[in-house]
Amino acid sequence: MTDAYKDAGVDIAKADKLIKQLGFSDYGAVINLGDTKIVLSTDGVGTKILVAEQLKVFDTIGIDLVAMCANDILCHGAKPHSFLDYYAMGSLDLEKSKEILSGIQTGCQLAGCELVGGETAEMPGVYEGDKFDLAGFCMGVVIDELPKKDLMKEGDVIIGIPSSGPHSNGYSLLRQLYGGIYHINILRPTRIYTDDVLPILPLIKGAAHITGGGIHGNLPRILPDHLNYNINIELKDWWSTLFTSAQNFPMNMSKHEFECVFNCGWGMLLVADVENIDQISEKVADSAILGILTT
């Protein structure tokens, strides 16, 4: 549990307890339809929408919405296929709505899926003033099912693919740190990993999308119980830029605690055999070895 994040209003431990009670642990629901397997996933953008509202920038969070769902689909070795959105607000603002929906369309293009429908709901009394919320639903078709836990072994490498920024997690803490004063980089949209992961599916044994819970809340989800990991995360350069204007940067947070909240510059972690490192590096040029699996 991270006290800094809890103080910002997010209790990771409580959320994990609820998820365990419901019996959910995967990134999506895998459904067998005869000869075809599909994956269903749903997610939102979180309190990043409040930053978008304050900065009056709405053309990026639609990309975030698609990314949060489509990247989860990829973790099951599936190709994103179809996407639906749910957009709710107190009062419909046409210009804002056009920007948000345009972002969703862009996100679908980046993810390689089709926007097939959605719901737009005016809900005065539930959402006041400019308040709104977004949710997304993605369906993917399994190509080479992940994770392959039975093939993972001690000595397998953990490879990271960089994130484009904080993506869409940790924003309750970021908002507290910034005190409502932001710069535009904080809205940099979430990287969509379709073109990175799909070409290397035969070369990997698992993929972990680093979202809520950070590094240590997501990587264990794809590992077998008998394996642990030794990982060394070095913060990407954009983190120092991001926190330049934050007066209350949580220097009292331990490295482990920080890694339990943020992606720390690595939005997708892969597990692969050592012998596949070079091939993966050729196909994903900005990837890097971050650690190994241990017993």
34: three-class secondary structure by DSSP: coil
Q: What is the pLDDT of residues 146-201, one digit of tens each?
A: 999 999 999 999 999 999 999 998 898 888 877 766 776 789 999 999 999 999 99
The structure tokens listed for 49 are 């929408």
Please answer whether residues 176 and 226 qualify as being in contact, where contact means their C-beta atoms are separated by less than 8 angstroms.
Answer: no
Per-residue burial over 37-60, b = 16 or more CB atoms within 10 Å of its CB, e = otherwise:
bbbbbebbbbbbbbbbbeeeebbb
Domain count of the chain? 1
Q: What is the pLDDT of residue 255?
A: 83
What residue type is assigned to position 255 of the chain?
K
Helix axes 61-74, 48-55, angle to 10 degrees: 160
Q: What stretch of H or E contains 285?
A: none
Q: How many CA atoms lie within 13 A of 200 on its CB side?
A: 29
CATH number at residue 138: 3.30.1330.10
Q: What is the pLDDT of residues 228-268, one digit of tens each?
A: 999 998 877 777 666 655 544 555 678 888 899 999 999 99
Strands (E), the chain: 29-33, 36-44, 78-89, 114-122, 132-142, 157-162, 206-209, 228-231, 266-272, 288-294
Q: What is the pLDDT of residues 47-67, one digit of tens each?
A: 999 999 999 999 999 999 999
Sign, CA torsion 150/153/24/207 = negative
Please answer whether residues 113 and 67 qualify as being in contact, where contact means their C-beta atoms are separated by less than 8 angstroms.
Answer: no
Rounded to an integer, what distance in angstroms lies between the CA atom of residue 293 and that of residue 295? 7
The structure tokens listed for 44 are 């939102």
Q: Assign residue 155 a region: left if phi > 0, alpha if psi is -120 to 50, beta otherwise?
A: left
State the residue range of the domain holding 141.
Answer: 3-294
Q: What is the pLDDT of residue 1?
A: 44
